[in-house]
């Protein structure tokens, strides 16, 4: 993975009839967009946690299917925003959908009925006269097939869905069929990224996202959206190893105590989990140094938004 892509670095052996395009994955919070993206790519490019709204910014996952290069845009969940950070996240989600060649609307099939956030997404797409692909996710959790069929019929009454897929991002069921379908419907054109690149996310940001995921997995019951992680230093050594210094920012001293844990035990657990995953991903030794600092108003800091590619001024 590289931080930037130079057109001269693109592979010379592109297929004779290449296809390339953007596929936006949109849906209500916790519909499983990040899990599906990772399943589609075959590698982890977007963080996953039981906490809704884990994805804050647009994440691009890149994969090859036949002669097609599919550029998946995993977006923050779309919901009714109240705070500045929430408004910026929802705006990023809609921008991702607006710019894409194809839109996939993910719906959690295991929930009873259609939630208000999903209804809002459908209404907005109807207003834009935008067609989409319906992706019913988590079908492994649905016990009665008739419930699945009834949900499919109700959603298709909206008139915006051209096709319906039933998948389980967690087990992989139906994922390959969806991949092939999308690949065949992308516009003709040259690949935009090297064949072995799986994301356009800079490594420093990806490393911070890995740690943020471990933070949420450990603390999703105790810590609200009051934490963020930033990579402050990235130093590579001649033996191939890398030293990464990261800061976990929280808003209050009480939250700092939660992250640190008794005698610093909690932050050590988080650091170990993050380092293990980073070493597997980077295929080299990682020296990870984690620090916890209080920054009361980080959610009102324009710099934090620019790091994630969000619009601070979003009304």
Q: Which domains, and CATH codes, for the chain?
A: 7-184 (3.40.50.300), 203-308 (3.30.300.20)
pLDDT band at 298 (very low <50, low <70, confident <90, very high): low
pLDDT at residue 261, rounded to an integer: 92
> How does DSSP assign 181-199, residue by residue?
HHHHTSPB---SS-TT--B
* pLDDT of residue 52 exceeding 50: no
Per the model's pLDDT, the better-predicted residue between 311 and 286 turns out to be 286
Is the pLDDT higher at 269 or at 130? 269
> Is 144 a residue whose pLDDT tops 70?
yes
**What is the tens place of the pLDDT at every residue in 183-225?**
999 999 999 888 877 776 677 878 888 898 888 888 866 665 5
Q: What does the chain come to in residues?
A: 315
pLDDT tops 80 at residue 248: yes
What single string gives the DSSP state of each residue in 42-68? Answer: TS--S---SSTT---S-EEEEEEETTE
Residues 6+ apart with CB under 8 A from 4: none
- CA 54 to each of CA 23, 31, 66, 74, 264: distance values in angstroms, whole numbers, following the listed order: 20, 11, 31, 11, 25
Q: What is the three-class DSSP state of 172? A: coil
Phi, psi of 165, rounded to the nearest 5 degrees: -125, 140
Choose among 198, 200, 203: nearest CA to 64.
Answer: 198
Give mean pLDDT, residues 36-59. 60
Which residues touch 301 (CB under 8 Å, ≥6 apart)? Answer: 295
The pLDDT of residue 296: 79
pLDDT of residue 132: 95
- Region 20-46 average pLDDT: 82
> For residue 171, what are the contacts with CB-CB under 8 A and spacing of at least 6?
140
Q: What is the pLDDT at residue 5?
A: 40
Minimum mean pLDDT range among 27-31, 172-176, 221-225, 253-257: 221-225
Tell me the mean pLDDT in the region 78-93: 55
Residue 7 has a pLDDT of: 41
- Which pair of structure tokens corresponds to residue 280? 């597997």
Q: What tens digit of pLDDT does each residue of 251-274 get?
A: 889 889 999 999 999 999 999 999
Residue 158 pLDDT exceeds 60: yes
Q: Residue 105: is its pLDDT beyond 70?
A: yes
Whole-model pTM? Answer: 0.64
pLDDT confidence band for 138 (50 / 70 / 90): very high
């Amino acid at each position: 993975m590289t931080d930037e892509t130079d057109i001269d670095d693109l592979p010379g052996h592109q297929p004779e009839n290449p296809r390339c395009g953007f596929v936006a994955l949109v849906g209500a919070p916790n519909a499983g967009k990040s899990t599906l993206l990772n399943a589609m790519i075959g590698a982890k490019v977007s963080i996953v946690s039981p906490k809704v709204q884990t994805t804050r910014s647009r994440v691009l996952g890149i994969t090859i299917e036949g002669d097609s290069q599919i550029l998946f845009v995993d977006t923050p969940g779309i919901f009714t925003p109240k705070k500045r950070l929430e408004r910026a996240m929802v705006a990023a989600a809609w921008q991702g959908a607006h710019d894409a060649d194809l839109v996939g609307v993910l719906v959690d099939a295991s929930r009873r009925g259609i939630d208000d956030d999903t209804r809002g997404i459908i209404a907005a797409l109807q207003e834009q006269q935008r067609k989409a692909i319906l992706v019913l996710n988590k079908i492994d959790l649905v016990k009665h097939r008739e419930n699945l069929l009834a949900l499919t019929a109700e959603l298709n009454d909206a008139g915006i869905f051209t096709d319906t897929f039933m998948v389980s991002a967690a087990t992989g069921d139906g994922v390959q069929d969806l991949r092939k379908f999308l690949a065949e419907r992308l516009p003709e054109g040259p690949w935009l990224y090297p064949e072995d690149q799986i994301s356009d996310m800079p490594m420093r940001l990806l490393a911070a996202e890995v740690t943020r995921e471990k933070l949420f997995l450990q603390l999703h019951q105790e810590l609200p959206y009051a934490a963020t992680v930033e990579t402050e230093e990235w130093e590579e050594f001649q033996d191939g190893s890398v030293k990464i210094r990261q800061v976990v920012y929280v808003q209050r001293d009480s939250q700092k105590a939660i992250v640190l844990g008794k005698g610093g035990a909690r932050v050590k657990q988080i650091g170990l989990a993050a380092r293990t995953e980073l070493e597997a991903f980077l295929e080299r030794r990682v020296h990870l140094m984690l620090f916890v600092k209080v920054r009361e108003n980080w959610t009102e800091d324009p710099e934090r938004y620019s790091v994630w590619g969000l619009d601070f001024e979003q009304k």
